[in-house]
Amino acid sequence: GRRPHHNRRREPRSGGAMLAVDEELRIPGDEGREYVIAPRAEIKGTGGFAEVRVARCTTTDATVAVKIIKLRPVGKMDERTVLREVRIMRQASSAPHPNVIRVLDVHIARGDTRADLTRASPLGAAGTAYIVLELCNGGELFDRLTDFGRVPEPNACHYMRGLLQGVAHLHERGVIHRDIKLENVLLSDDGTVKLADFGLAAELAVDASGAPINANALLRDVVGSQSYVAPEVLVRKMKGYRGAPVDAWSCGVCLFTLLSGFFPLDVADARDWRFRRLQAEQALGNLRACHVIFSMYQRDCPFSEAVQALLDGLLRVDPAQRMTVPDALRTAWLQPGDDAKDEHGAFESGAHGDGVVYRSFLGFGSFAAPAAPLAPEMLVPKRQAAHEASVLGQAAERA
């Protein structure tokens, strides 16, 4: 239950650039293609082991994005892990979909173990992966939230329709994303949603047509991002979980956060008093998740009835009772021409969401104290670089 906060970093940390600022890099692709990253090329994003730069394809003159990854000998960013992510992306786009980012080319430069990659040769430093992707100039969907505080229902409907259509396509191709969050939803120039970042995705076995052989196959690894991950992933005695409901829950968190400006839960397990309340209410038959969450702060839910019906279905704690992605796409709120959306989606006239709810998170106002106070680190609005947030997966890897 935190208000999202964006610590933007448009430029890499000092000394953290993968390429020297005055360097031109030429990257070979398949079928004679070549991509050029010009000196001082725009940096679209940075992380601990990777950055994304704008490049140009010399054969088509198209502008693309290149994700440059500093490979490690073993572990999270080794060559095997990166190639697995690329394989999953290609499986997802084996039948291209407008709401799933396309991987255009991949080049792995091997053989040089130098730690300093800023002196890379023009043909690419060994120990580096270059993933060429379609360019999304609209930024992250998270940026819409941090720029405007919350998103009106008509806009959120457009974004969610695209997101759910992209997720449905992934599931039809045997791919479970497992890290759906506003930071991993990109926007093209025309506002089209593009689901990206498949580093934590799972691939199911598929038949000759590319469809999953067993869509209900159980997954067991604990991965995801804190405020978005489904409760069944966090169960201590792991019995396994089905992938599709996990993605559906994360889509529900994205939608609630877009409309309200704050996360419905801090984490979907017993550490969070809000989750305990939501779980208890649903066990008693109260399935109105939106009303339960807002009632914790003595507020009425401001959303339209149509979007509440969608959210109440997606935010079911029991995955067996949770709304599926195909069923979500058939709900009334996501159909074109729903005029009810035009009248909802705002708390107050201010730029950001409900300040009274925010103050309750921070211990201000006249609300009753939660049954179990949250630890201080759970109360501080904190958002680091876009791709660092998969702490659960990192912890599981270390275990």
Report, as residue numbers or ranges, the catalytic residues: 179
Pairing of strands 128-134, 202-203: unpaired
Nearest partner of 210 among 295, 90, 332, 290, judged by Cα: 90
Q: What token pair was written down for 27?
A: 């990257």
Are the beta carbons of 133 and 150 closer than 8 angstroms? no
Are the beta carbons of 270 and 276 closer than 8 angstroms? yes
How many Å apart are CA 302 and CA 218, to the nearest integer? Answer: 37
Q: What token pair was written down for 42?
A: 């725009």
Burial (0-12, 13-18, 19+ Cβ within 10 Å), 94: middle
Burial (0-12, 13-18, 19+ Cβ within 10 Å), 102: middle
Hey, what amino acid is at 165? Q
How many Å apart are CA 132 and CA 37, to the nearest integer? Answer: 11
Query: For residue 22, how many other CB atoms are within 10 A of its CB?
Result: 7
Hey, what amino acid is at 75? G
Name the DSSP letter for residue 30: G
What is the C-alpha R_g of the chain? 21
Nearest partner of 223 among 204, 247, 206, 205, judged by Cα: 247
Query: For residue 387, how many other CB atoms are within 10 A of its CB?
Result: 21
**Any idea what the Cα angle at residue 294 is, between residues 293 and 297, rounded to 5°?**
110
**Any idea what the Cα angle at residue 388 is, between residues 18 and 157, rounded to 5°?**
115
**Any idea what the Cα angle at residue 350 is, between residues 253 and 164, rounded to 5°?**
25
Region class of 204: left (phi > 0), else alpha (psi between -120 and 50), else beta? beta
Burial (0-12, 13-18, 19+ Cβ within 10 Å), 178: buried
How many Å apart are CA 310 and CA 329, to the nearest integer? Answer: 9
